Structure 1
Amino acid sequence: MTSSQLQAVACSTAANANIFLPYINQTFDRFDISTPVRQLCFMAQVSHESGGLFYTEELASGAAYEGRASLGNIHPGDGIKFKGRGLIQITGRNNYQLVSAALQADFIANPTLLGGKNISQCSPDQLKYAALSAGWFWQRAGLNVFADKINPLQPVDSGANLEYFKRITRGINGGYNGLPDRLHRYLQGAAAMPAGPANQTAA
């Protein structure tokens, strides 16, 4: 993916796209996000979650996750310590342990390594792991399978394509929050990709 294509699908500034580009492409390579449609679907979701490649940590304190055994937050302070971080907001002690094993980095001892507030406050390592953790989550959820079912010659926001896109959204979000914005980002990116015009909604 080029910087201009990343800027288009992320609806981000050129500066933010340039900063994240090497880490995004590294993520594509590592987690087999290897086709234009896979990349469009991934970036439409990730850029929505991160506010256009800006936020690498959720804005809330994380206190709402305190004591959530389903997230593995069994120790006092876990809610805040393991709040949502990374471009896809990895949340909870359990997920931090899993992504630590996958990426061979200790996010339990160093949770902010997954992301530091926003792009302007992140070190290169935080940017790298913010991107890679999103790719890990995507692969673990098996979302390439649904991206592969999307026909790039048909509009993404209707028919079977929309149902597959919604399935991806549910895999990321647990529901369909922000679906129109996620679709908008896909369409913006599709126009900048080699087969882009065919992904546009018919007038």
Structure 2
Amino acid sequence: MLSRENMLQLFPKSARFVDIYLPFIQAVTNQYQINTPRRVAAFLSQVGHESAGFTVLLENLNYSADGLAMTWGTRFAQKDSAGKYIMVKDGSRLRRMPNADAQGLHRKPEAIANRVYSDRLGNGSEVSGEGWLYRGRGLIQVTGKNNYRACSLALFADERLLTTPQLLEEWQWAVASAGWYWDMRRVNRLADGDDFEAVTKSINGGLNGHAGRVAVYQQALSLFEVCQ
């Protein structure tokens, strides 16, 4: 079902990596029984979105102040006295007004990671630097110390990812970690159903980029149903 040709049809920007990652994708989908058109289409659409089409294995946190306000509004956008976001017109669209914190973190990816990921996901305080150390890596963007530890125990039977988290930037472990996360969250069961939003929420925690995920899912589903 998975071939070089159909991967490039779905993710043309990944041409320079496809011969590296494809054997790992084939192995992981076999290992975790991601073996029906619905399951394969769902898996590829989700990990493809998280990795910018199989081209990026490390989270990019180089946000502008505007980007921070749009991505983490509760932290970085100004609100009025009624608690509603203050919106400003930017050409033909409206955007949230960044607050002072957003302005101070503008284009400072390490500081942003340490702010937004501190004291959660098993990370220490902002000054610990663990937000940056355990930022998103791998095809599915494993994030946070707790998830790195759990992933490490599953893949290596030890905690090596806590000291060498950059292993998830290597294709073998980038793909393996995505398979582990998919299986751990039991996403095959969700993929078998008709609620694709539930699949996205299980991976993303919300519906960020859902429309793009749906588009790839539908394209992949049509492709793999023909291949069967």
Give the TM bin, normalised by the shorter chain: 0.7 to 0.9
- Summarize the Cα distance change of 1:114–1:83 in structure 2 as closer, same or farther, 3 Å threshold: same
Q: 1:187 aligns with which of 212, 218, 225?
A: 218
Q: 1:31-180 residue pairs with structure 2 within 5 A?
A: 31-60=32-61, 61=109, 62-68=113-119, 70-74=120-124, 76-104=128-156, 106-115=160-169, 126-149=170-193, 161=194, 164-180=195-211
- Match of 2:17, SS? helix
Percent identity (aligned): 34
| Equivalenced residues, count | 173
Residue identity in the other structure for 1:111: P
Residue identity in the other structure for 1:192: L
The alignment yields a C-alpha RMSD, in angstroms, of 1.9
- Match of 1:71, SS? coil
- Summarize the Cα distance change of 1:181–1:11 in structure 2 as closer, same or farther, 3 Å threshold: farther
Larger Rg, first or second structure (1 or 2):
2
- Aligned equivalents of 1:64 and 1:32: distance in 2? 38
Q: For each residue in 1:44-84, what CA deviation from the matched residue of structure 2 results, as whole angstroms up to 9, or x when unmatched?
A: 0100111000010100132234532x311126111111000
- Aligned equivalents of 1:176 and 1:195: distance in 2? 28
Unpaired runs of at least 5, structure 2: 62-108
- Aligned equivalents of 2:179 and 2:185: distance in 1? 10
- Aligned equivalents of 2:15 and 2:133: distance in 1? 32
TM-score by length of 2: 0.70
Instruction: Report if the CA contact (8 A) 2:57-2:174 is conserved.
Output: yes
Q: For each residue in 1:11-70, what CA deviation from the matched residue of structure 2 results, as whole angstroms up to 9, or x when unmatched?
A: 5443333321011112112222122211110000100111000010100132234532x3
